[in-house]
Structure formats: C-alpha cells, structure tokens
Amino acid sequence: MRKTLLCVLLGIVSSVSAATAIAAERPTNLVFILADDLGYGDLCCYGQRLIQTPRLDQMASEGMRFTDFYAGATVCAPSRCVLMTGQHLGHCHVRGNAGGDNMLRQSLRKEDVTVAEALKSAGYATALIGKWGLGEIDQSGHPLEQGFDYFYGYLNQVHAHNYWPEFLWRDREQVKLSNVVQPARNAYGGFRGGWASERVEYSHDLFMDETLKWIEAHREEPFFLYLALTIPHANNEAAGGVGNGSEVPDFGIYADKDWPDPDKGQAAMITYMDRDIGRLLDRLKELGVADNTLVMFSSDNGPHMESRNDPLRFDPSGPLRGMKRDLYEGGIRVPLIAWWPGKIRPGQVSHHVGYFGDLMATACEVAGVDTPPGTDSVSFFPTLLGRSQRQKEHEYLYWEFYEHGSAQAVRWGKWKGIRKPMLTGRIEVYDVSQDPGEKYNLARRRDIVEKMRTIMKKAHVPHANWQPPKANN
C-alpha cells in the first residue's frame, strides 16, 4: 500500500522534476560510496597519521567534509537499512544483524521504500555494486525488488567476509569465479564464510571494474549508484587462527613496515580503496559528467579489530570513544565527504548534525521529487550548496543495539544520551560538543537525563522481531 501511494505521488511530481532539479538540462547524478568498518580517524583528512589516503583527502579539499555525521547503526545490516529507508532504528524493520534461520529478520519487506525506488520513479537508472545484506535471492529484500535495476556483488554478509569468493551475484544469477574457498561455517542459503586457498579474482577489483563500466554505459541518463565496498572489513573466518583477516592482494607501501601482517593489511586495504575512489572520480571527469554528479563517501559504522589488527597503532576512532558495536561516538560517528565540482565550494567543513537516514531526503531534493512519507529524514542539500540559513535541523537522532546486553543512544543538540541496557538501564549524558571522547558523564544534569528518557520512549517503537533483554527480577 505504501509503495503504491509512493508511485502515485511520484507520478504527480515527475512532470515538474526538471524545474526543481539543480541541473536544468537533466537531474543530477548521485553516487554514494560506503566503506565497511572504516573508523572516523582512519583517513588523513580526519586526523590519521600512518595510513595514506591522498585521493580521499583531495576529495575533501575539493568538496565538503562533515564533522558530526552518523551511521545508521553500530553494525552492518541495520545501518544499511537506515541508509536505504530513511527511517531511524526505532522505526525501521531491520534493527540488527541476524544469521542462520533468522535471516528473514534481515530482509527488507515489500512495503519498505528505498532511496533506489524513489530515484527510479524519478527516471534514474539505479545500480548496487558491492555488499547488500538486506535480502537474499528468494526474499522481498533482494535488490531487484527494492528499486535497483542492476546488482553485482554479495547478498549475504558472511559470504562477503571472503575477498576471494567462489562466486558473486549478478542480478539473480551466480557468477562463478576462479577462486577456491575453504569453508569455515555455513550461513543462510549455503553461502559460506571461509578463506581462499587459491586466490585469483579479488572481489574489490571486480567491483571497481564493474562500477567504471556501468557509469560509462549510463552517462547519458541520470543515474544513482550505490557502491557498497567491503574494505576494510575483516575476513572473520580467516582471522580465526588460519591467516591474516585483512585480505588484500599485497601490502603495497606498507610491506617493509615493522608491523604485524594484520596491521600491514589493514593499512593496505584502506590505501587500496583510496586509490580506487580516485579512479572513480577521474572517470567521472573523463566522461564529462563530474559537474553534474554528487559523490558522497562514508562508512557503515565504527572501526573493527576483527582481523587481529591493533587499534592502538592507527587510533582508528580518532578523538572518539569506542568502536564497532558501541553506541559511544566511536561506534557510530563516521566520515562523510561530499564532492560536487562547481556546486560545492572547495575546502568546506560542516558541523551540521546528520545521519544515514538523511540520504533519502537529500537524494529526493537533488532529484526534485517528494520524500516518501513515514521517514525520519532531513535533507542536507542546503548545507551542500552553502545555504546554511535554509538548513533544517533534526530534533534528535536515535539508535538502538540488540547485542552485548542492548543499548539506546540519542543525540539532541550538543547532548548525547546512552542507556545500557535499553529501556531499563541508567542513562549517561555527555556534552559531545566539548567532550567528543565522552569522558565526563554529566548525569547529574537531571533535566537532560529526563529529556533523554522522554526521547528514547518516543523513538522506540516495539518490533516483534527485535526484543530487548528482559530486566533481571
């Protein structure tokens, strides 16, 4: 019903989309690049000192770097659900990672409306290349059921652990690769985690080759590309005692460093990714579409140490507290770089507070269509164009987490509230404008604590599939 209503609404506004789009000739292209488990402090332009990221630093110097932007969640699947649907974790359907017989909990439903659907209805060609994690081959959450014209990559998260897999998906067909994989365990649908004993075709290379071909093929029409890279996620199975979980073809400029192999691999993966993002930006310029293409880069959650890498070496969270699976800032505050030659003034730094759910409203404003009803999305399009006086702000941002005993978090203005366990625990309060490392709990501010409690109660809509732990009696 919701999708039917959306199609009707978008059909009405499509006749005026050309007048409202930023480009008079045709709507603006949109490319959203998502790294996997990249920390706030993993890029030089965010303070990294050991890992080299020259192309992303250049992207930031030519565009806009956000300081207070947040992922949808502190782990993969729910963060991507927020990104695609524009709903925060108290409202969206996929609120955590799932596995085994519970994979239906990790699939989008028919009634869920994605950014791809909104833009496809506005006349965009749409593609997902990389890691999906929101629906399997036989589910309503499959990318081709959720607004994407084309899909190439991994459907399943565990399958995506291996950078040299036996196969990838193209639309609904398996594409066999030349790699040989030693399985570690089975996941839903038989997709195997494991490690490659014969390494021939590196999935990241295949993603980038496919990306460049797809953009060239669609350069004459408006397009939306969601490039969901797996770098620098660990191969958790390979890291479980059989090898280096930071899987990369070679250590590159870090080969001679006096570091353990997981650290060399972690750094090499990020620099490898950085090089290829530069290739993508260069190709947009070569094709003559860069000035009509908004490119954004971010990460799905905070950094990991799952490849046996040492977080003390690279300080991947930068000044922030926590990592992946925390609702402290280090688990959810992520880089966001926006690049749009001729539209975004170079060298801008924005302190606008936004999150993954805002992609929906921003993309719709770029395309000149209405944002679907029922979202928790605020467009940051005015900020991109330097029109801060027109920028709307969120009343609050909200997160939930169902692992490690559960937790809730709220960002309200300069204030951050965290409750562990969710619904019943004590609320911690931090002024993250002055204390981004969340060192000083100001829970003595009872007025702020009560405001956080009120927001948490309002934001959390119970879901049958996602139950917080019961309080101890």
450: CATH = 3.30.1120.10
- Same structural domain, 199 and 271: yes
Whichever domain contains 278, its CATH number is 3.40.720.10
Q: What b-and-e string marks burial along 61-77, b requiring 16 or more CB atoms within 10 Å of the CB? A: ebbbbbebbbbbbbbbb
Amino acid 15: pLDDT? 33
What is the rounded distance in angstroms from the CA atom of residue 465 to the CA atom of residue 105? 7
- Overall number of domains in the chain: 2
DSSP 303-337: ---TTS--HHHH-TTTTS---TT--SHHHHB--EE
What pLDDT, on the 0 to 100 scale, is given for residue 18?
34
For residues 353 and 438, membership in a common domain is answered with: no
The pair of three-digit structure tokens given for residue 137, joined into one six-digit string: 């081959």
User: Are 330 and 255 contained in the same domain?
Assistant: yes
Predicted pLDDT of residue 17 = 41
Within this chain, do residues 425 and 288 fall inside the same structural domain, yes or no?
Answer: no
Q: Report the pLDDT value the prediction gives residue 11, as an integer from 0 to 100.
A: 46
Do 380 and 438 sit in the same domain of this protein? no
Predicted pLDDT at 178 = 97
Domain assignment present for residue 422? The answer is yes
pLDDT of residue 188: 42
pLDDT at 196 (0 to 100): 87
Which structure tokens are listed for 29? 């292209």
Residue 400 counted as domain residue: no
Distance CA 219, CA 204 (A): 22
List, run by run, the mean pLDDT of 10-residue segments along the chain (473 residues).
50 39 70 98 98 98 98 97 98 85 79 98 98 96 98 94 96 97 61 80 98 98 98 90 86 98 97 98 98 98 95 97 98 98 97 98 97 98 96 98 96 98 97 98 98 98 89 47
**Residue-number span of the structural domain to which 424 is assigned:** 405-459
